[in-house]
Amino acid sequence: MSSPRQQSFAGEDGSRLQPDVVVSLPEQKCLIVDAKLSLKDYEQAMSATDELSRQAALKAHANSMKAHIRGLSGKNYAGLPGISTVDFVIMFVPVEPAFSAAFEVQPSLFTDALSQGVVIASPSTLLALLRTVEHVWRIENQNANTRQIAELGGKLYDQFVLFAESFQEVGERISRSQDAFEKATARLSSGRGNLVRRAEQLRTLGVSASKQMPPALQDLDD
């Protein structure tokens, strides 16, 4: 996982999207981290002088986070041209107590965000989350390589079977050719009435010939 860098991307409507951090992952993938969340409602809650005002400000803080989640989900970073990102965005809450306070008011906030492709992280969870994503991505890459090796291995085995079948067929044809050669040799120079013997009989009877039968064939006839 390489160091973060800031980049700018063009949305489908021509608008410019500039995530706060783009973390590079293996296989040219990346992870978007957004840290633009406003904490003004949380600050009002912390400065409230009575519990009623404090609870109202915390509720507004949770609602502000929900609105920011919807906004991040709508940006659809995963569908942008020129970027190959995982299918979720990390929403970074830089103040740990603000992170915890929102979940106290809205316990389902994390799962609601996750269903929209947004993962909420705090200073204490961000690094662990990034490491987990990298680890999972490496495992997925290894699994993909394993599947590819298995597929190539299967194709290699099939090709080897085809070669073995062809090799066996060649051997069978060679064997048939050998049988045919031996039969032809028998007719030519061995056995009763073979061609070499009859041809030599003609020569003995005085047939005029300028060639002489190869000695090896005469030996076979003996």
Identify whether 142 is part of a domain.
no
Q: Look at strands 29-34 and 85-92 and give their pairing.
A: parallel
Question: What's the DSSP call for residue 3?
Answer: P
- Cα–Cα distance between 120 and 90 in angstroms, integer? 6
**Which of the listed residues 121, 151, 182 is the one where a domain comes to its end?**
121
Domains in the chain, number: 2
Identify whether 153 is part of a domain.
no
Identify whether 181 is part of a domain.
yes
Question: Is 104 found in the same domain as 17?
Answer: yes
User: pTM of the prediction?
Assistant: 0.55
Domain that holds residue 171: 161-206+215-221
Beta carbons within 8 Å of 43's beta carbon, 6+ residues apart: none
Question: Is 85 found in the same domain as 187?
Answer: no
Beta carbons within 8 Å of 94's beta carbon, 6+ residues apart: 35, 37, 39, 123
Question: Is 113 found in the same domain as 45?
Answer: yes
Digitized pLDDT (tens) for each residue of the chain, 222 residues in all: 444 445 665 555 555 667 777 777 766 677 788 888 889 999 999 998 898 999 999 999 999 999 999 988 888 776 666 666 777 888 898 898 998 889 888 889 988 998 988 888 888 888 888 777 777 767 766 766 667 766 777 776 677 677 677 778 877 888 888 887 778 777 777 766 677 777 777 777 777 777 777 776 665 555
Q: How big is the CA angle at 69 (ends 67 and 71), to the nearest 5 degrees? A: 70
